[in-house]
Amino acid sequence: MKRVFFALLVLSGFALASCKKDYTCECRKIYTDDNGNVVTSSDGSYTFKDSRARAEDRCNDLETSGSDLGGDYTRECDI
């Protein structure tokens, strides 16, 4: 009986450890102007209901670089 209880306790611990949770990914655009000044602006907040590792991967997939009306930018995202 003790072994069954212990096994259930261990399995419950694994189940709770791998539960999906809400993780918020914050993104920002970083511009550098012609004078070398750095301008940072918020560029969105995303919520992922997933494991931490998967949420971090999805967040990192949102990182890009390019140009828009503000000039050349780098987009960085972090959990």
Position 32 scores a pLDDT of 87
- Return d(Cα 17, Cα 57) in angstroms, integer: 18
Secondary structure (DSSP) of 7-70: HHHHHHHHHHHT--EEEEEEEEEEEE-TTS-EEEEEEEEEEEEE-HHHHHHHHHTT-EEEEETT
Task: Report pLDDT digits (tens) over 55-65.
Answer: 999 999 999 99
- Does residue 1 have a pLDDT over 80? no
Instruction: Look at residue 1 and give its three-state secondary structure.
Output: coil
Q: Which of 64, 26, 61 is nearest to 43 (CA)?
A: 26
Task: Report pLDDT digits (tens) over 28-46.
Answer: 999 988 788 999 999 999 9
pTM of this prediction? Answer: 0.72
